[in-house]
Every structure is written in C-alpha cells, then in structure tokens.
Structure 1
Amino acid sequence: MAVFLTLLKIALVVAAALALGWLFRRAAVAVTRGETRRALRTAPVTASFGMLVILAYVVVAVFAPLIAPYAEREVVGGQFLPWDSTHLLGTDNLGRDMFTRLVYGARNTVGIAFATTALAFFAGSFLGLLAATVGGWLDQALSRIVDILMAIPALIFSLLLLTIFGTSVLTLVLVIATIDSTRVFRLARSVAQNIVVMDYIEAARLRGEGLLRLIVREILPNALAPLVAEFGLRFCFVFLAISALSFLGVGIQPPTADWGSMVRENATLITFGDITPLLPAGAIALLTVAVNFVVDWQLHRASGLKE
C-alpha cells in the first residue's frame, strides 16, 4: 500500500509539472511573434516546463531582497526551529531563516555558476575556433595543453587549485572556468574543423578577410547551434561542481548563502527525519533537470530531425 501511495504521489507531481509546462507554452505562444512563436509552438511539454522553471529561478534571483522576509545573514531565532508561520522553513544551525537563505542561494549559486559558465564558454570557444582556423603549431600547442589539463580529474584539480590560491569568489570563478573551458575548446575545435574546409570559407580567405572577421562572421554563425546547446550542458556541470565544492567547504564561503553549503551545515537534521536539508539539494536537482530539458530540445532542433 505504501509503495502504491508513493507511486501515486510521483504520478501526480509529474502530471502537475506537465500541466504547468503546457500552460506556460500556451502563454508564451500568445505573447510572442515570428520565429520565436513558431519555435515555441513546436516545443515539447518537457522543454516548456524547463523554461518555466528557469524563468522562476531568474525571477527569484533578481528579486531576492523583495521575496525574502529577512536579510541574508540575519540571525532571527534559535537553532533548528521547526517550520511555522514566522519561519516558513524553520531556521538553520545558526538561527538564520532557511527560506531567506534558500532565496538568496538562488542569486549566489546560480549567478556565480552563470558567470563562470559564460567565462569558460567565451575562452574555450574562442580558442577552439582560433585553433581550428589557424591550424599548424598553434593548434598543436593549444590541443596538447588542453589534453594535459583534461587528464587530471576535474574535482581533484579544483580542490588542489583552490587550496593553493584560496577560496574567494573570484578565485573560484577563475579556477572552474579554466578547467571547464577545456571541454568547450574540444567541442568548438571539432565543430570548426568541419567548417573551415568549406568552399565559402576559402572564398572568404581569397577576399582577404582578416582572421577575427573570418571567425566571427563566417565560422561562428555556422557553429552556433551546437555551441549554444553546449552552453546549457556546461552550465549544469559548473552548477553541480560549485555546489559540490561548497558542500566540501572550499566553494562559496559562509556567511554567503549557497545551496551546497546549506546541505552540509544542516545535514544533521536528516537523522531526525527533517527534510529541510534536502530542500537546497532539491533546488539544485530541479534546475539541473530543467536546463537539460531545454538543452535536449535545442539539440533536437539543431539536428534537423523531424518527429
């Protein structure tokens, strides 16, 4: 009976998520025009639900000071107070409001992950396109450096560098971006190598196009679809990496609200049957799943396959 009730609850949650995705798609189609409207009309319900979740996270991150009832670092009560009307999700190990910390965690965790992904994506894609366009010794040098960096497990390499250079937000962003840019480099170089041999690229060279203009105007537009999909995947990996490092104590440092460190700080509640520490973990999982739904849709569109 218990198993049946659990399966029923899961089915209801899935049905509610699909219904929300369908309603969001209808609303988005109604307010958009042109190519965007045509794309949204053919979007699967899962992708629509993913876009709705991403939009909700962005709204919470931007308007965190207006949504949160208390300040991010304010101690408002005793340790581990239960859920009530004053503290919707109780308090943490220091007496700070958990709902407030969860809201500000969206701004900190997601914001830092997005900035890190953008930096890694820009550096990796530019160097990858450059290596494929120029070729020769530059391609070989950059490829061998990337091979060396990728040979070291990413988490261990991150822990080593953060231990050496410190755990400030700037250091965290630079370390994760450097490590993750190697993956973007490999993809960008592979995609660009199939483009630089095309006739229109040779024609652009004969016209006297400069290197930068050749990359930006000729190669990048034709490599954009897989790179955009890769951006979503990279964001998921970076987001999970930052959360894991914070859980291990070398990521985003207290008293800054961060979902990974919130799980670690309040993990003792799990032994008493309290699900509060699972809420930031659930927030991490939900955003990761939502981004993957949207990325899968974009990859399907880029492939040109029909249903």
Structure 2
Amino acid sequence: MTGRHGFSRLSYSGFLALTVLVIFVFTAILAPLVAPYGLNTTVGDVWEPITRGHPFGTDSLGRDLLSRLIFGAQITLLVAGSSTVLAFFIGMFFGFLASVVGGWLEQVLSRINDLMMSIPTLILALVVLAIVPINLFTLIVVMAVLDSTRVYRLARSLASEIVVMEYVEVARLRGERFAWVMLREVLPNALAPLIAEFALRFAFAILFLSALSFLGLGVQPPNADWGSLVRENKDGIIFGVPAALIPGFAIAILAFAANTLADKLIGQSARLRKE
C-alpha cells in the first residue's frame, strides 16, 4: 500500500517523461526490426527532402536519416546508460568507503576527488581521448570515471549523515564488517536520493557523449550516435537542410525527459525524507 501510494505521487509530467524514456529504450532494443533500412545503407541522393519513403530525408551520404536515428539510439543509450551505471558503482563504493572508514582515507579520497572536479570535465575528457584508442569501451570508462566524482560527493554526503545513526553504531558494536554495514545499513537509507541522482547523471551523460561525438572524439564510424549524426550533417544547415537539426532535436527530447524525471524523483525523495 505504501509503495503504491509513493508511486502514485509521480506527477503527470513525471509519467510523461518516463513514457518517453521507455519508448526510446524499446525503439533502441528493437532497432533491427523497426528501422526501414540498415545503419550504413545508401538509399538515395545526398540530403533528399522529407518523403513518404524517407520521413526525415537522407543524410550527407544519402542514407536514410530515420534508420540512422533509430540505430543511433542504441549507441547513445548504451554508452550513456553504461557509463552512468559504472560511475555510480565507482562513486558509491568510494563515497561509502570514505564515510564508513573515515580518518586519513576519507581525506585522501576527498582531495583526489576535489582535484579531478577542479579540471573542466570536457577538457579532461578531450585530453584523455586524444591519447588513448577511441572505442565504445574507452568512452564508457572515461565518462564513468569523470562522472563518478559527482556521485562520490553525493554518496559521501549521504553516508556521512547515516553512519552517525544509532543503528549503525549498534551494527558496528555487534562486530559487523564494512561490507555488511555498507550494503545493509547505509545503502538502503541512501537509495532514494541516489536513484533520483542517477536519472540526472544519465541526462548529463547523454549531453556529454553528444558533445564528444560532435567534436570528433566520441563514437567513431561505422557506429553512430546522435551527436555524430549532428556533426555529419552540420554543413547542410548552410543550404537550409534540416538533417542536423533532427538528431539535435532527438537529443533535446531525451535529455529533457531524463531531466524532468530526475526533478520529479528528487522532489519525491525530499518529501519522503521529511516524512
């Protein structure tokens, strides 16, 4: 009854944002079935206008833009989602570790985190990606490590408030180990704000990946994400061709839906904590 009541508190805008995200995810999963053409199949002339056969026209090489958008959703969601999950594993582990253990370890981890956060994320990513081979695995790891600094800060803040509670002290006096305290005492009580933060970090990951791809250091051919679609078709804007605007609009919709859902979850989490 309580879970149903809490779920019903998500507003209509929150449900709409969640619905949009679910549609994007299922479209990406079913891309080979729903895409009219292959990812790199040339089907017409360069930058053909919108027709019944090509609802979004063609791109700079004569490939169906709708099909590339659908397949690009796979890479966009895969990289953004995987990097966000990995960032949370890294940030939560070290954030909880710093708060539960405390002392010199907390100081060392916090100073390293502050140092990484002091460098602009995009500049640091561009430097790293200019040195290492660029592939999907590299992108996911680099994005995850950089984003984990924000997760660490939140996880450490939440855990610092929880570890001083009496039930945590009782667990320690019983002789429970670090893993037990972290997984059974700290994590359940910090889960709600972390879930809300996950949606927000996912939105940032989408925009960050798109920026890297637009600058040429993100997803590389023959793969494609929405940021690389914007880069490939940006010259068409000069001639009044909207091919670059369509994937940009898709990025905006996905990021807006993730941000909206994050805002609603953060608000709901705050209300639940007050109660």
TM-score normalised by structure 2 residue count: 0.95
1:42 matched to 2:12: no
In the TM superposition, what whole-angstrom CA distance separates every residue of 1:11-47 from its partner, at most 9, and x where no partner exists?
xxxxxxxxxxxxxxxxxxxxxxx55543343321111
Query: Any gaps of 5 or more consecutive residues in structure 2?
Result: none
The question of whether the paired residues in 1 share the 8 Å contact of 2:159 and 2:186 is answered with yes
- Pairing of 1:35-184 with structure 2 (within 5 A): 35=2, 37-184=4-151
In the TM superposition, what whole-angstrom CA distance separates every residue of 1:230-278 from its partner, at most 9, and x where no partner exists?
1111111111110000000000011212100111111122222232211
Higher relative contact order (CA 8 A, sep 6+): 2
Distance 1:197 1:259 in 2: 45
Match of 1:266 among 207, 222, 233: 233
Q: CA deviation at 1:96?
A: 1.1
Alpha-carbon distance change, 41 to 195 in structure 1, aligned in 2, over 3 angstroms: closer
Partner of 1:210: 177
The question of whether the paired residues in 1 share the 8 Å contact of 2:10 and 2:268 is answered with no
Q: CA deviation at 1:83?
A: 1.5
In the TM superposition, what whole-angstrom CA distance separates every residue of 1:129-150 from its partner, at most 9, and x where no partner exists?
0110000121111111111111
Query: How high is the sequence identity, in percent, across the aligned residues?
Result: 49
Q: CA deviation at 1:172?
A: 0.9
What amino acid is the match of 2:57?
G
Alpha-carbon distance change, 35 to 52 in structure 1, aligned in 2, over 3 angstroms: farther
What amino acid is the match of 1:199?
E
| Structure 1 vs Structure 2 CA RMSD | 1.4
1:304 is paired with a residue whose SS is: helix
Distance 2:228 2:2 in 1: 42
1:193 matched to 2:163: no
1:78 is paired with a residue whose SS is: coil
Partner of 1:298: 265
Partner of 2:255: 288
Match of 1:238 among 194, 205, 221: 205
Partner of 1:224: 191
Distance 1:177 1:118 in 2: 8
Alpha-carbon distance change, 210 to 42 in structure 1, aligned in 2, over 3 angstroms: same
1:266 is paired with a residue whose SS is: helix
Distance 2:168 2:4 in 1: 33
The question of whether the paired residues in 1 share the 8 Å contact of 2:76 and 2:226 is answered with yes
Moved more, 272-281 or 247-256: 272-281
Moved more, 221-230 or 79-88: 79-88
The question of whether the paired residues in 1 share the 8 Å contact of 2:9 and 2:268 is answered with no
What amino acid is the match of 1:163?
A
What amino acid is the match of 1:302?
S
What amino acid is the match of 1:83?
I
In the TM superposition, what whole-angstrom CA distance separates every residue of 1:155-194 from its partner, at most 9, and x where no partner exists?
0000000001121111111111111101100110011111
Distance 1:50 1:61 in 2: 17
Distance 2:256 2:7 in 1: 19
Alpha-carbon distance change, 273 to 161 in structure 1, aligned in 2, over 3 angstroms: same
